[in-house]
Structure 1
Amino acid sequence: MPNREMLLIPGPTPVVDEIYAALSSETYAHTDPRFVKIFKNSLELTKKLFHTEGEVFVISGSGTLAMEIALINTVAPGEKLLVISHGYFGDRFIPLAKAFGIQVETLQAEWGQHIKKELVEEKLAEGGFKAVTVTHVDTSTGVMAHLEDLVPVVKKAGALFILDGVCAAAATEEDMQKTYGHPDYKLDVVFTGSQKAIGVPPGLAILAFGPKALAAREAMPSVLGYYTDIKNWVSIMNDPGKYYATPPVNMIYAFNKGMEIVMAEGLTTRYRRHHALGRAVRAGLGVYGMKPLASEEVAAPTLSCILYPEGVNDAEFRSRLAAKGMVIAGSLASLAGKAFRIGHMGNVTEEMFVKAIELVGETLKEMGTDANIGEAVDKFKEIYHSA
């Protein structure tokens, strides 16, 4: 099933033929040993992705479901949560926490910037925070959090570190056994969705809970959820032949194939490719006078929020690109109409982005803006291959 368009939004990302083939395979019974074997393999690969010594959960649902599962299984009603936000999706933890009676406080960065760790230290010094949420890559701004700065500060304060890896997992390191300056300073929860850098269609919430997060759930008499209570899922994840809720059989096929592709490339190689691709895309578009919202010091490897040159109409620009078979996303909140977002993650190729940069240049020229297409493509290739 060939892709008819270049879907270069921040997710869903392009799906390759091997994954489409897996998705369209015959649907087995959810307790069929053939399916159970596939599900078990996908769970083992998920453990390798996050290098966790805890539990992983692959459940029918979206990244928003994963956010909810991460919160209600670690923070009880009335307990304090600190949200460190670098954009729209970091802010999303606020209403989610309030819906479950969690006391939430927030540190919000200016869009395109980082929260300084000194501000985090100051806030955590107030005491009483059960957990801190950090969005590894905020899909609205293209900013990537610096875990090396934040994890030690959070863990020193005795809080759980919950990492939203929706737009980062399988594109940049999220190693749950990595230590950040102290043997106990590790990530406690990481979660993602199937449709971003893993490169599978939307439909799966994917989480990893480390030992301290699992202990936090054990210490809670109950949680405000049934489907979202990880205690109801642990036995299923350890033996997918058991029944609790019907798994999305064909999506598990697709996820398993997606994870096999990730591991066949190799995590180190995949991370290097994404970081190189992000820098190269921004450099190539920069030739057209298009500036990223986030500087290279804080920019993500998975997507970029790109500010338009003066005089470029957002709706017309994206409509013209779509007519050429290239789909990008508009920007959110105060940036709506002023910038676009382009995803460069998952099972994408250098050739796709050479074509993308050419199409952007052609569209700018059609709209009356000068664009040196050859120079832009050369800059992309130069940066990509040097990185």
Structure 2
Amino acid sequence: MTHKEYLLIPGPTPIADEVYEALGQETMGHTDPRFTKIYKHAIDLTKELFNTDAEAYVISGSGTLAMEMAIVNTVSKGDRILVVSHGYFGDRFIPLAQAFGIEVDVLQAEWGTQVSLELIQQQLKAHTYKAVTVTHVDTSTGVVANIEQLIPIVKAANALFILDGVCATAALEENMGKGYGSEEAKIDIVLSGSQKAIGVPPGLAIIAFSEEALAARQDLDTVPAYYADINNWRNVMDNPSNYFATPPVNLIYAYECAMKIVLQEGMEARIKRHENYGAAIRRALNAFGMTPLAKEAVAAPTLSCILYPEGINDVEFRAKLAERGIIVAGALAHLAGKAFRIGHMGSVTATVLEHAICQIGEVLEDMGHKVTIGAALKAFRQVLTVEV
């Protein structure tokens, strides 16, 4: 497929030709044995990605639906959760939980930084929490959470660890079978969407539960949900010929194809590739006088929030880039107009990122900002050469 433009936003992300081809296949009936075989394989690949022997769900919806499924199936009205927020999307758990009568405490980082571990430990000692939510990569700030250190702290407090992996899944480690610090310190829920590092068009909610999280669901007996109740989906996930709600057949084709690509590359290689791309693109843009919001120690491998140099008009900059076929996103909240966000995840390649760097440099020149494109490309390539 000829790409007329490069979608380098925090998601959706560029789609590989093989995934488009899978998406465009003739639609089968949702109970057709040929389709149910594909659907079951997609679910099994999801469990393989998260390294879980428990349960995974792939259904029509978005990452926000997966967030709701995580909360409503484990926490009941009157219970208390702790939201560890590194930006706008970490904060989204607040109204979501409150909509179900759940008590919420919040630890919010200054944008571009992580919440301190000491502060989290103090909060966990001060109250009893049913669950703690952490956004692995916050797409508003480009900050990555340090789950290696967070998981042991949360599990030591006997809380469920709920990980929002929407902008991290298939690019960072989210290993539900791994003990982080101890055998008992594991991720309880990972939730995600199809349209970011997995590299599928929007439309799928993806979520995996540990045995401990499943036990929490059973303890609740009933939940204030119907579509989002995992008990209504269990028979379908075990055997997709069963019916609860019509699955998005063509998206499942695409998702199964993308998951095969992910696992064929291997998570170790994908993690390294995303780390390299993130560091390289930030180094290159820094050569243009642009400053990443997040310092490198806490910067995400999947996207970056980049502060403009003095005198650059955000709307004009992004419009000029779009005319050249490079689509980036504006910043959110108080950073609107002061920064832009660029995705570097999924099926994106080094060649595409180099092209984007050149176009960004030319737009900056058009806007009267003196830059050296060659220096930015050199910085980009040096990181890849050293790190590969």
TM-score range (shorter-chain normalised) is over 0.9
Q: CA deviation at 1:181?
A: 1.3
Q: Give the stretch that moved more between structures: 144-153 or 197-206.
A: 144-153
Q: How many residues align?
A: 387
**2:256 partner letter:** N
**2:96 partner letter:** L
> Which whole-Å CA distance do the structure 2 matches of 1:384 and 1:167 have between them?
22
Q: CA deviation at 1:216?
A: 0.2
For residues 89-137 of structure 1, the C-alpha deviation after alignment (integer angstroms, 9 at most, x for no partner) is: 0000000000000001100000001101110111111232000000000
4+ residue runs of structure 1 moved beyond 4 angstroms?
A: none
The match for 2:376 is: 376
Q: CA deviation at 1:140?
A: 0.1
2:195 partner SS: coil
The match for 1:55 is: 55
> Which whole-Å CA distance do the structure 2 matches of 1:33 and 1:147 have between them?
40
Does structure 2 conserve the Cα–Cα contact (< 8 Å) formed by 1:321 and 1:363? Answer: yes
> Which whole-Å CA distance do the structure 1 matches of 2:2 and 2:170 have between them?
23
> Which whole-Å CA distance do the structure 2 matches of 1:227 and 1:126 have between them?
35
The match for 2:140 is: 140
Q: TM-score if structure 2 supplies the norm length?
A: 0.99
The match for 2:278 is: 278
Residue 156 of structure 2 is aligned to residue 156 of structure 1? yes
The match for 1:98 is: 98
2:220 partner SS: coil
The match for 2:334 is: 334
Aligned pairs for 1:152-301 (under 5 A) are: 152-301=152-301
The match for 2:4 is: 4
> Which whole-Å CA distance do the structure 2 matches of 1:35 and 1:49 have between them?
21
Does structure 2 conserve the Cα–Cα contact (< 8 Å) formed by 1:289 and 1:309? Answer: yes
Q: Gaps spanning 5+ residues in structure 2: where? A: none
For residues 278-326 of structure 1, the C-alpha deviation after alignment (integer angstroms, 9 at most, x for no partner) is: 0000001010011100001000000000000011110000000000000
**2:37 partner letter:** K
> Which whole-Å CA distance do the structure 2 matches of 1:108 and 1:49 have between them?
30
> Which whole-Å CA distance do the structure 2 matches of 1:170 and 1:182 have between them?
24
For residues 46-81 of structure 1, the C-alpha deviation after alignment (integer angstroms, 9 at most, x for no partner) is: 011100121000010000000000000010011001
Does structure 2 conserve the Cα–Cα contact (< 8 Å) formed by 1:2 and 1:17? Answer: no
Does structure 2 conserve the Cα–Cα contact (< 8 Å) formed by 1:3 and 1:15? Answer: no
Q: TM-score if structure 1 supplies the norm length?
A: 0.99
**1:361 partner letter:** G
2:31 partner SS: coil
The match for 1:18 is: 18
| RMSD (CA atoms) | 0.6
The match for 2:85 is: 85
Identity of aligned residues (%): 59
1:125 partner SS: helix
Does structure 2 conserve the Cα–Cα contact (< 8 Å) formed by 1:308 and 1:339? Answer: yes
Does structure 2 conserve the Cα–Cα contact (< 8 Å) formed by 1:39 and 1:256? Answer: yes
